[in-house]
Amino acid sequence: MAEFVEQIEPLKQAALSAIGEADSLRALDRLRSEYLGPKGKLTALLKQLGRLDKAQRPEAGRRINQAKQALQEAFARRKEELELKESLPKEPIDFTLPGRRRPLGRFHPLTLVTEDIVRSFRKLGFAVADGPEIEDDYHCFDALNTPADHPARDTQDTFYVETEPRLLLRTHTSSVQIRVMKRQAPPVRVIVPGRVYRRDNPDATHNPTFHQVEGLYVDRGVTVGDLKGTVEAVFRDLMGPATRIRFRPHYFSYTEPSFEIDFSNSVTRRMGREWLEIAGCGMVHPQVFENVGYDPEEWTGWAFGFGIERIAMIRYGISDIRLFYQNDLRFLNQF
Ligand code: DAH
């Protein structure tokens, strides 16, 4: 047999021991082309097959292929070992160390309170309505029976937008009462959570934007008793069964009679107050029904509006309204 056939076995042995010693995937790759690549040593032997006598070729071919297969297996095995080795950390690691915490977002306290309010009213069959924050005089004031010389329309209180016709940022969610009643026929049972704007300087209890929830209930034969019962049920649901409320006569242009609602529980007492004013309400004024095309002889209703911040402050014992808007994580992380 030709001389080169004698080279197969030593070549294979040399390759196997080199593979065993290869200490990185890169070194192993280099070895692979050194032996099995197009210009590799084993490939070179394979190319010489043609020079053999026909009779010798099958035996020589078989030996070369055996060697080739042995090398391929050795390469594959070593590759697995090296991959495992290279995937392990270079430095020793303490697997008992605690993992890194991903900071988890949370809901803003005003969102939490709003959702609870909505849930309470939903139980009583109220739907949630929505309206624009950029409003016009008509929906925010005129249709609510607030005459042009009413102090609530003073530019001291209202942010106006420089448009023609003039628009404004709604000063209360009551504007949505008008939009809802213009859009649908009675009966109506909606609440409207939303943001409102007033020209106030920020202090512990004021901010130029804050949030309200409006409520509107219109049907036949609705009474102040319904109003009081509903408000009481919702506040007890929200603030605990020991919560008490009381109605004081007041004036709003869109309700008659009108009331302010005071609220009392252990938190208000801890804040040093028996009663805290929490909302305005009343029976919808017949003129408002006229304005939206409801027959005031047939339909009766009540409405209320309260401040969400106020409720959140009482609920969580927060003493400064500005904390809600500063996005200070030390504050937000507490909810
Ligand atoms: N809009 C009033 C405010 O912002 C609150 C209010 C009072 C709403 C009486 C009403 C209502 O719906 O009937 O202070």
How does 261-285 read in b/e, with b if 16+ C-beta sit within 10 Å? bbbbbebbeeeeeeebebbbbbbbb
How many A from CA of 329 to the centre of ligand 1?
33
Show the ligand 1 pocket: residues with CB < 6 angstroms: 172, 174, 214, 252, 254-255, 280-282, 303-305
Burial (0-12, 13-18, 19+ Cβ within 10 Å), 80? exposed
Q: Is the pLDDT of residue 1 over 60?
A: no
Could you tell which of 157, 304, 308 is best to mutate to test the pocket of ligand 1, judged by most ligand atoms within 8 Å of the CB? Answer: 304
Ligand 1 atom nearest 254 alpha carbon: 13
Could you tell which of 228, 254, 306, 309 is best to mutate to test the pocket of ligand 1, judged by most ligand atoms within 8 Å of the CB? Answer: 254
Question: What average pLDDT score do residues 248-275 get?
Answer: 91
Q: Which two tokens stand for residue 223?
A: 């009474």
Could you tell which of 252, 262, 300, 310 is best to mutate to test the pocket of ligand 1, judged by most ligand atoms within 8 Å of the CB? Answer: 252
Q: How confident is the model at residue 266 (pLDDT cuts 50, 70, 90)?
A: confident
Nearest CA owner, ligand 1 atom 10: 304
Query: Which of these, 313, 129, 130, lies nearest to 210 by C-alpha position?
Result: 313
Nearest CA owner, ligand 1 atom 8: 305
What does the pLDDT look like over 80-139, one tens digit per residue? 999 998 888 778 888 898 988 888 889 999 999 999 999 999 999 999 999 999 999 999
Question: What average pLDDT score do residues 253-278 get?
Answer: 90
Separation between Cα atoms, residue 203 and residue 138, nearest integer Å: 30
Ligand 1 atom nearest 214 alpha carbon: 12
Could you tell which of 141, 172, 189 is best to mutate to test the pocket of ligand 1, judged by most ligand atoms within 8 Å of the CB? Answer: 172
What does the pLDDT look like over 206-249, one tens digit per residue? 999 999 999 999 999 999 999 999 999 999 999 999 999 999 99
Q: What is the mean pLDDT of the chain?
A: 92
Q: Which two tokens stand for residue 198?
A: 């007033």
Neighbour tally for 259: CB within 10 Å:
24
How many A from CA of 65 to the centre of ligand 1?
93
Residues 6+ apart with CB under 8 A from 300: 218, 219, 220, 221, 222, 223, 283, 284
How many A from CA of 281 to the centre of ligand 1?
6
How many A from CA of 253 to the centre of ligand 1?
9
The helix/strand/coil state of 209 is strand
How many A from CA of 109 to the centre of ligand 1?
23
Query: The whole model's pTM is what?
Result: 0.72
Nearest CA owner, ligand 1 atom 7: 280
Separation between Cα atoms, residue 283 and residue 304, nearest integer Å: 9
Ligand 1 atom nearest 302 alpha carbon: 13
Residue with tokens 């009462």: 177
Separation between Cα atoms, residue 305 and residue 298, nearest integer Å: 24
Q: What angle do CA 124, 125, 129 make, to 5 degrees?
A: 120
Q: How confident is the model at residue 150 (pLDDT cuts 50, 70, 90)?
A: confident
Ligand 1 atom nearest 212 alpha carbon: 4
Q: At what angle do helices 41-48 and 25-35 cross, to 10 degrees?
A: 20
For the chain, helix, strand, coil in percent to 5 are 45, 20, 35
237 and 263 Cβ atoms separated by less than 8 Å: no
How many A from CA of 167 to the centre of ligand 1?
20
Say what the pLDDT of residue 259 is.
Answer: 97
* Percentage of the chain lying above the pLDDT 70 cut: 99
Half-sphere exposure of residue 62: CA atoms within 13 angstroms, side-chain side: 4
